[in-house]
Structure 1
């Protein structure tokens, strides 16, 4: 199986999505990829257990992609080995009435992982510069004091929103959150195939909505705005990774390997030392329990 360097998927310079591959050949078969993924996930679980005990870093994993890109199954397969007490998944839908009474980042801020935990955002705060950019009329639902019509949702508005997102991520990174942002880069042809599978398989019909086809008509707009978002917000403290997503097992392996390789570099993440007094009396505690 081909060895990968996760940095090869990191967005470190201007990216053009039309020139970025949606496939990646690991030079092996599906079963081997799945076995390798299982091994990496077990190793990742060990790191997560240590981080939970260490309690000084949080990990935020943001997953974005077009409809059918594989976000749900990615989360299921990559994090299934982790202890449930140490990972929390948030799937962000259309904002609720309460969420609309706050600024757009509020619901994401209150969902951030505590130190020692992994937080996974299935769709993220980037919906606010993606879906709303394709559909600027949605901004009117935020009831902003300085937006009186869609005409006010202009370039200056988006510049300000990108600044806010960059500042948000810089703030949480400076306060102990390790940030990963994964864009599942799917081809339009593969999306078509996956939508057709949803329609052909009765047990998958529930995943389909006619709105999926409406959004597909706006594919080029979404690609333009995804590209802009990646280029504006991929920072060293909060990098984007463009993950080839046409093959799900390959995409899952790349994401898991990226998480493991990066977190393994944090040599200060160690289990806490026992208190000297407790350590000195371990044998006594053992004898006491064994003598019951």
Structure 2
């Protein structure tokens, strides 16, 4: 694989604007990823798919490749503030890493098959399937997070004058058979969606940690970030070996993500209980609308 920056000439506004925009998007992705625990690919993947005309697999590969660097920057802040719940995080990785590797391998090969290359309403079948699945699942999750965030916001202001209970979130998890199986099962889909959409899988892990294991939102984001870091690193190596990864795009985006992730994680540490879910839902809606309007086949 050649390592050059010629792909930036494919950007609609030219080479240097492409460099600046990718850096800026990387900063935004790093900020939102560390604030929401979602890996940032829900912006990165459709961005590279639309503006650099990458295939679905290539867009996912670039999205995943910038996550290890930016997530490590955010993890450092969360570690210093004791927000990472290590037991849940490493348990999630038991199934998320092999799931991500298997999905990346199959996803990368499907795009190159004759069946995946067949045109369907003017675009390859692999691209069409990706569009439908991505927008469906992200749209459903956006609705769920919005409803939950609004409920939490109402409860937050209703109890504003009440003294909050002293809950030790770090001790809320117990290694019961049921809890272990739920985390392991979630890890399978964490890895699957991480490789399939480049979104890190945090959109599954964060709600699980918040709603089921009673973590605070910032603890859920920090713990999810641990899984994002290790899962995305291994999957990026596999995509690179398949020749699907444009390192020059990932490199510039990663530099922006380093700064964005640090600022976003500092913001998340002091965020209101409902704000992380609310911001998540808003951006998920925006990405779904933008992606559908930009990529939906013209009938």
TM-score normalised to structure 1 length: 0.27
Structure that is richer in helix per residue = 2
Which of the pair has more CA radius of gyration? 1
Greater RCO structure (CA 8 Å; 6+ sep): 2
| Structure with greater proportional strand content | 1
